[in-house]
Amino acid sequence: MAAEILTMPASATDMFRLDGRVAFISGAAGHLGRAMTLALASAGAHVIVNGRNDARLKDFEGELAALGFSAERAAFDVAEPERVRAFFSARSRLDILVNNAIAMTPKPFAALEQSDFDETYRSSVGAAFETVRAALPALRKAVDSTGDASVVNIASMYGAVSPDRRIYAKPEQASPFHYGPAKAALLQLTRHQAAEFGPSGIRVNALMPGPFPREQVAKDDPAFAGRLASRTMLGRTGRAEEIAGPLLFLASKASTFVTGSTLTIDGGWTAW
């Protein structure tokens, strides 16, 4: 029997490097969007930061450049299919696509309109569908070049479990009815996309963050922040930078045999 030929694995550092890769991140200037963009850029990727507010993106682009990172901005609404198609048709190659954007107006149950659901679904589920479809030629070019391309859809633990109303003492704090259902649909879209594009070498996975409140939340309402923390197994909420490692895993060579999966980052919230 012939001996099995062993190959040396890449070093731990090399597995997570993204040098020469091009990454597109929607909602890039937001709370978690900034952390994810910084993670990809610090790993060596050229980052395309997307959002609707060009002035905000320009400031962020400047911050990235000041840190020595390679970045460009693309100000358009991913909920507008024509803009999405026009942008990606001009890209020759795309290695990483992060669908993070979502538009949502928080409202109590009684005040919700169908238009609120339409906006949220269109900006998250619909946008994640359309960006991947429009980016397919560029993603396939990446596969031709490196053997791999990665799509990461940013979902939420509220796509898997319902909000515990006892935590949200104030109505305006509660997770809106149109948010969780949209994130649940995004998880299923991830599985469909993974099945569709797996034969092409394009991997599609989801990140499912748990409680990642802004720092200001703890300052303005420490009791609420404490209730959030008490629901996790670690007894605290997440820090924005803690999404970096999971994202880099899914975006890099470290996960080349991972697709159709959901990586949960919730401090154990959904595992009780």
What positions carry a catalytic annotation?
Answer: 179
Task: Judge whether 209 and 154 are in contact, CB under 8 Å.
Answer: yes
Task: Judge whether 190 and 260 are in contact, CB under 8 Å.
Answer: yes
Distance of CA 245 to the CA centre of its chain: 12
Query: Alpha-carbon distance 245 to 253, whole Å?
Result: 13
Within 13 Å, how many C-alpha atoms sit on residue 203's CB side? 22
Please identify which residue in the block is written with the tokens 């803690």: 242
The alpha-helical segments, DSSP class H, found in 53-153 are: 54-66, 81-89, 114-121, 127-146
Strand-by-strand arrangement of the 22-25 sheet? 71-75, 46-51, 22-25, 96-99, 149-154, 202-209, 262-265
Residues 6+ apart with CB under 8 A from 30: 51, 100
Please identify which residue in the block is written with the tokens 């030929």: 5
